[in-house]
Amino acid sequence: MKILHCVHSLDCGGLQRQLSYLAPAQVKNGHKVYIAYLRGKFFVEKMALSGIKLHHIKNISTIHPKFRIGFSLLDPRVIIQLKWLIKKIQPDIIQTWFREMDIPAGMMATIYHIPWVLREANSYRKWPNTIFNLLRRYIGKKSNAIIANSQAGEKYWIMSKYLGYRRIIKNALPFDYINKSKNIFPDIGLSENEDYILYAGRINSRIKNMDTLISAIINIVSQTRIKAVICGDGPYKPRIKKVVKKYHLEEKIILSDYLQEDQLWNLMKKARLFVSASKIEGCPNVILEAMACGCPIVLSDIPEHREFLDDSLAFFVDQNDPNAISAGIQKALKSPKEARKKAEMAKILAKNWQSVESMVKDYENVYKEIIAIKARKRAK
């Protein structure tokens, strides 16, 4: 089977991490796998070494970081290059991974009658009725299958009255690999013997709620001896740097770029807590990884988190109130036995979570099914 994955970015992120599990495994299963991407470098080497053929689609978003979603969607070169690539490789299946590729690659799949899978990685609460979101929804309803990684993601397409094939395939978690990962503590200006709380992921305000979270973290590190580590990148990071400098907290709040998997997992294994105050999520990789590492978690009380966690597994806080977040962190820090019990229960859930092998099999079954359905329709 020839599989073409179309993704907006190969930079570090949860969506890209799932692709980095799926695509190499498909190569091992004997498929010819191609990835068309608009930008990013973090996962390029790993993908190339696994035997995947990579195709960088030139577009305006590579010129400057500000030229992102809207600009790349308006760049006619994206459509032209995708058309050329699809005609050249003639894929049996096209899978798109985000709006910037859902629209142009979905259009090409529809025009050339190639079975198309749209992967929904976000909640129904993520997509307001903007022009590009409405266009994505219109084109997405022509896809042959919608694969969501959460009930909240599937709900979006139910609300959109999508009538095609729908399936929930949870994000994969390489539990055994995480537990056997190398003991590599990153050189980020922190001793592994120090107490710290951890955040890792995209650093933005609208979705990840970093403005509120950093206020809560400042409260914690100002009142206690504990430190905080923030790993990741995003548009709000310069703002956080300024705030940390303003309050002279450079030694208490450590800012790091994205880390390699082994390094991040070792941070999680030694952290007192993992904290996330996201306003919206899909099926959050980094929380699953923290659970697999046995790290207690403090989370925003949102439907996407409640979909797979409850009060026996995590501490929940009001994500809209920095004082409530800092109070929740304080409670978890002052209740180590309760925190450890929750972490142990969460680790059991993580151990029984969807494996990479199971996820790959589920995707391949969907591919085969929609190819067969499309073939039967053509025969009629």
Query: What is the rounded CA–CA span in Å between residue 251 and residue 226?
Result: 11
pLDDT score, position 33: 98
∠ Cα 216 236 271 (to 5°): 50
Query: What is the rounded CA–CA span in Å between residue 35 and residue 15?
Result: 14
pLDDT score, position 184: 82
Is 262 in the same domain as 364? no
pLDDT score, position 130: 87
Task: Please give the torsion angle defined by the CA atoms of residues 82, 86, 88 and 89, in that order, rounded to the nearest 10 degrees.
Answer: 130
CATH of the domain at 249: 3.40.50.2000
State whether residue 249 is helix, strand or coil: coil
Is 11 in the same domain as 114? yes
Is 152 in the same domain as 180? no
The parent domain of residue 259 ranges over: 176-351
Is 326 in the same domain as 372? no
| C-beta separation of 319 from 300 below 8 A | yes
Q: H-helix or E-strand containing 232? A: none
Query: What is the rounded CA–CA span in Å between residue 96 and residue 35?
Result: 10
Residue 196, Cβ neighbours under 10 Å: how many?
20
Is 204 in the same domain as 122? no
Is 200 in the same domain as 213? yes
Is 236 in the same domain as 145? no
The β-bridge partners of 151 are none
pLDDT score, position 60: 76
Output the six-digit token pair for 53.
């053929």
Q: Where are the alpha helices (DSSP H) in the chain?
A: 14-28, 44-49, 69-73, 76-89, 99-111, 131-140, 151-159, 175-179, 210-223, 237-246, 261-270, 285-292, 303-306, 322-334, 336-351, 356-379
Number of folded domains that form the chain: 2
Positions of the chain with pLDDT under 50: none
Is 147 in the same domain as 289? no
Rg (CA), the chain: 21
Is 267 in the same domain as 347? yes
Sheet strand arrangement including 273-276: 253-256, 227-231, 196-200, 273-276, 297-300, 315-317
Is 187 in the same domain as 117? no
State whether residue 204 is helix, strand or coil: coil
Please provide residue 133's backbone torsions phi and psi, each rounded to the nearest 5 degrees.
Answer: -70, -40
Burial class (CB in 10 A: 0-12, 13-18, 19+), 311: exposed
Is 72 in the same domain as 168? yes
- pLDDT tens for 224-250 read 999 999 999 988 999 999 999 999 999
Output the six-digit token pair for 186.
């990153």
| C-beta separation of 220 from 226 below 8 A | yes
Is 139 in the same domain as 258? no
Sheet strand arrangement including 2-9: 53-56, 32-39, 2-9, 93-96, 116-120, 145-148, 165-168
State whether residue 93 is helix, strand or coil: strand
